[in-house]
Amino acid sequence: MKNTTQSKKLYSEVIVDFLVEKKITHVFDLTGGMIAFIEDAISKTKGIDCVPVHHEQAAGFAAEGYARNGNNFGVAIATSGPGAMNLMTAIGSCYFDSVPTLFITGQVHTDNIKKNSLVRQEGFQETDVVTIVKSLTKYAVLVTDPNQVLYELEKAHYIMKQGRPGPVLVDIPINIQRTLVDSKNAQHFYGSKEHKKMESENSKLYKEIGKTKISVFQKLLEESKAPLVLVGNGVRLSQTTKELAMFVKNNNIPVVASLMGLDTFSNTKYFVGYIGSNGNRHANITFANADLIIVLGSRLDIRQTGDPKFFNQRATIIHADIDASSIDYAIPAKISFNTDLPHFFSATKHIKTPVKKPWVNFIKQVTNAFARPLVYGNEINPNTFFTELSNASYPDSTIVVDVGQNQQWCAQSWTVKNNQRLLFSGGMGAMGFALPAAIGAWYTNQKSQVIVISGDGGIQINIQELETVSRNKIPMKIFVLNNKSLGMVREFQDLYFNKNYQSTVKGYGNPDFKKLAGAYGIDYALIKKISNNDSNLKDILASSRPALIEVEIPITAKLEPKVVYGHKLDDQAPYLDQAQHDFLEQLKARLYTL
């Protein structure tokens, strides 16, 4: 329904013009009556397209992948009621992982929105999504005045990106979408009193870093014998990967990463590994024995540190984060910088410290002794598989990883190359994330290689999006690690339920993936064995067609190491023999007496 009067537009068209102005090229949707006007406007506007998917959760994850892989926010739209409700997991994922995403939901006609709180519902598919979603968004609003449409979109956009980013939701009734714009009455947020007030308040949030604090930090760094940098998601969000690299190089500091920080640093000279409850053994030992830890864009949660009571007691913590609530979250900092990372790196760029040779030698010996060896044989070792896939991958590729054992095996064994992105579902930890998020990521750079990593359980949660991949000829490679079980929980059942595999093996099943790929018109390959410098993987990645690759791994494959809560990060006793344990204690003793 395109208005024929050139001087006027429908508000649905104004919404789309706003997205085009913000350089959004693709919007992800599952159609519904309450968003039909917006979809119609998108279809008639140059420079922007709808990418229809088959579940609103997938639309939300695709918008998240679009935002995380590009330098812009993502957009998903959904109809009222069940459509809006199906977005919730993706909205929560964006909130916990600080992803700037705009969710636009259609709502029933304003006349049909309930006026009495005792009434459950007035309009068909009417749902008060704004109240439901407020705890998972930075801002959520129902627009009931047509003149407020642009104002609320601009306000949501501003809040979404200000400070620590996150999702916002604007709920727009259908009658407002089809209302003609009266430019005389349309209101704008930018330049308004509210905007100016917010700007003033935000300017006071992050104070200048005083020279005294910087001097104390510099002195601690110079006096440290065993300094370490821990990088988190905040580095990528603040787009300071280059500044991080320069800071590390200037000060010759080794680097460890949280799960969400793994793709922020690719210099293998300084990078030690992935830390946390399932982190690399040698990286955890390094983390547990540093005497100065500079935490950048990470909140030091218990999955990273283990039980805080047993965390590295000798370490002085220096913490920089834009979110004040993330500082002193579990472990108090000696010096904290509540500021954005561009500001932190700018204030510290003059600092240069020499190599701490005994510390570097300690890390080298620990790595040589305790890094996981590659294992080849008749059955696929998951860590060896991910090492080989990492080696075969292209430098500018995007790897999108689902939740489960596959996520941790990948984090343990992937070596990030220049310009590679590793996208994980962190805080929400949602199975079914990888396939739709990879679709969104691909639309930010359709010349790059996209790799999906999933388990046989995770892939089934949004498996319908194989049709989206096939229809749009997205040349992604979808690796499904098939151990015929839900392995992460199965391991939990080993520990606590005497191997009663209810709902992980008992009552669980998966499809014939070869037939499934054929049904969607996608190439299929089966990998039963992995070899050193595997040529099969290289051939698969070189193909220009979409493909599903089933990787058979034994049901008994375990996720190791695993630091049990209540133990120290360098308590590797279950995985070390007596000689290794004694060797580690000797290394630590020499380091501590330097």
Q: Are 534 and 515 in contact (CB under 8 A)?
A: no
Residue-wise pLDDT for 559-586, tens only, equals: 988 887 777 777 655 667 788 888 888 8
Mapped onto helix, strand or coil, the DSSP state of residue 324 is: helix
State residue 205's pLDDT score: 67
**Residues near 55 by beta carbon (within 8 Å), at least 6 away in sequence:** 30, 86, 462, 464, 465
When pLDDT is cut at 50, 70 and 90, the band that residue 455 belongs to is very high
Going from the C-alpha of 8 to that of each of 150, 178, 181, 185, the distances in angstroms are: 15, 12, 6, 13
* DSSP conformational letter for 395: T
State residue 560's pLDDT score: 87
Residue-wise pLDDT for 235-246, tens only, equals: 999 999 999 999
Place of tokens 């375990």: 558
Backbone dihedral region for residue 503 (phi beyond 0: left; psi -120 to 50: alpha; all else: beta): left
Residue-wise pLDDT for 283-342, tens only, equals: 999 999 999 999 999 988 888 887 777 788 889 999 999 998 899 888 889 999 999 999
CA distance 594 to 193: 60
**Residues near 535 by beta carbon (within 8 Å), at least 6 away in sequence:** none
CA distance 306 to 226: 20
pLDDT above 90 as % of the chain? 80
Q: Which helix (H) or strand (E) holds 357?
A: helix 357-370
Q: Are 234 and 392 in contact (CB under 8 A)?
A: no
Stated pTM of the model: 0.94
Closest Cα partner for 270 from 303, 247, 243, 292?
247
CA distance 437 to 65: 4
Closest Cα partner for 20 from 51, 36, 2, 41?
41
To the nearest 10°, report the CA torsion of 89, 90, 93, 99.
-160
Phi and psi at residue 410, in whole multiples of 5°? Answer: -65, -45
3 has a pLDDT exceeding 60: no
CA distance 89 to 74: 15
Going from the C-alpha of 290 to that of each of 224, 225, 449, the distances in angstroms are: 9, 8, 37
Q: Are 535 and 509 in contact (CB under 8 A)?
A: no
Q: Tokens in use for 367?
A: 């790595």
Domains and CATH numbers, the chain: 11-203 (3.40.50.970), 211-370 (3.40.50.1220), 382-552 (3.40.50.970)
State residue 186's pLDDT score: 86
Radius of gyration of the chain (CA): 25
- Estimate to the nearest angstrom the gap between the alpha carbon of 513 and the chain centroid: 27
Calculate mean pLDDT across residues 40-49: 97
The residues pairing with 524 across neighbouring beta strands, listed in sequence order, are 548
State residue 310's pLDDT score: 77
CA distance 135 to 457: 29
State residue 7's pLDDT score: 56
Q: Are 360 and 333 in contact (CB under 8 A)?
A: no
